[in-house]
Every structure is written in C-alpha cells, then in structure tokens.
Amino acid sequence: MVEVVEKDAAFWKAFLMRAVQVLAGLFLMVAVFFLSAGRTDLPRAWSFFGLYFVSLLLNTVIFLRFNPEVIRARSKMTRKEMKWWDKVFAILYILFLIMMFIVCGLDAGRFRLSDPGPGFLLAGMIIFVAGWLLVAWAMVENRFFETTVRIQEDREHRVVSTGPYAIIRHPGYAGMILFYGCAPFIIGSLYGLVPALLLAFAFVFRTHFEDRMLSEELSGYKEYKKKVRYRLVPFIW
C-alpha cells in the first residue's frame, strides 16, 4: 500500500539534504579510489561508479513514487538517542568502505597485484543488481528504514513482516553486503575483497545488537523472530 505523504516545503528540503548526502558519499568513494589508483583510465572502475550512480537515480524515482517517507526519514543521518553499538557500526562502516576503495585503487591502478578476468566483471554486475533490488524492495516495504537504529515512537513504529521481510529479518543489510561486496569484482581487484569482508562483518555486528534491541523494545518482534527465523541468509542464518 502506497503511503500518502504531503510533499511540502519541509519534504523537499529533506529531499535536497538527502540528495546532497548521497552524492557526497559517491564523490568521496570516487575521489578515494582514483587518488589511490593514481590514474583515471580504468574502465571497470568507471563501470562500477556509473552503475552506482544509475542505481541512485532509480532509487529516487522509486521512493518518490512508492515510499517518499523513507527519503525524509533518511535525511537525518544521526540522532541524539543513537545507541553506542550503532555509533561503533557507523565508524566501522565508513572505515571499511573507504579502506575497500583504497585497496581497490592501489591494486587495480598502481600495482596491478591481481587481474580478475571479465567473468568476475559480469558476476559482479549481476550481484550488484541483485543487491540493489533487495535494498530497494526493503526500503519500499519498510517506512521505518532510517539510518539510525531506534524505536520510532514518534512514527508509530511497528513490525514489518511483508515483502522481503517475510523471508529474512534484515533484507536491506543483506542487499548492502551484496552490492558493496561485489565492487572489487567489478573494479578488478581481488585484494579489495578483504575490506569488503570486514564491511560485511560490520553489518553482521549491527544486526546482532539491532535484533536484541527490537526483541526487547518493539512490540511483536519476538513473535516475528519465531515466524521468520533467518537473519540475513534464507534457509541458512
């Protein structure tokens, strides 16, 4: 069901703020990678960043149509009630993401330590699209998909158990692990998989504490956990 959200001046201000945040993040990734690479003539890297940019444009269209509230909610990057473990995650997320593009840049651009063939490029693009679709689906389905983990009493927070949430409890994180983790395949750096794996562990760290907090503080979540047993990987874990 599409939620009706009034697109007033406050909404468009939040929309602009979120757009600036997202584009700044993309610019940082591009800058870190090419500064590390020491060159810009790397078509595979441009393929990744181009694919990432297109996914951002598609996200904008999808969210404006199906869940504009998620744009307003995610424009607030941090909140004063942010949990200690969520602060740790935020640091690890930024650290490992930047580390991944540094390693990929050094490998693919300066030293050419690994040279995965075109098969890795194709596989990486397929994984990227799969991960992006999963994240977009989760954000469309879940109006409470904020950047900060909290019980959103001001927004009548409730358990979401439809769409991808009927399969795994954290589909958004699973999708992010996929589309960030495939970056080294697309760019052409097997060594970049090391920080990508660390980034995946950071998401696992967050889901552990988030699951515990939701079980203790969100009505109906314990029952939801009994119904949907898998946290990130269907039929496995």
Per the CB < 8 A criterion, the answer to whether 63 and 140 are in contact is yes
Distance CA 142, CA 135 (A): 10
Count CA atoms within 13 Å of residue 126 on its CB side. 6
Residue recorded with tokens 């441009």 = 46
pLDDT at 224 over 80: yes
Q: Which helix (H) or strand (E) holds 10?
A: helix 9-37
Per the CB < 8 A criterion, the answer to whether 128 and 179 are in contact is yes
Question: The domain 9-227 is classified under which CATH number: 1.20.120.1630, 3.30.1490.100, 1.10.240.10, 1.10.287.130?
Answer: 1.20.120.1630
pLDDT at 78 over 70: no
CA 186, chain centre distance (Å) = 17
Report pLDDT digits (tens) over 98-112: 999 999 999 999 999
Count CA atoms within 13 Å of residue 186 on its CB side. 24
pLDDT given at position 6: 60
Distance CA 160, CA 138 (A): 10
% pLDDT > 90, the chain: 72
Task: Please give the torsion angle defined by the CA atoms of residues 166, 172, 175 and 177, in that order, rounded to the nearest 10 degrees.
Answer: -130
Per the structure block, which two tokens stand in for 82?
């942010």
CA 105, chain centre distance (Å) = 21
- Name the residue among 9, 46, 14 with its Cα closest to residue 29: 46
- Name the residue among 95, 99, 106 with its Cα closest to residue 42: 106
The answer to whether the pTM exceeds 0.85 is yes
Distance CA 219, CA 221 (A): 6
Domain boundaries, the chain: 9-227
Distance CA 173, CA 151 (A): 18
Report pLDDT digits (tens) over 160-174: 999 999 999 999 999
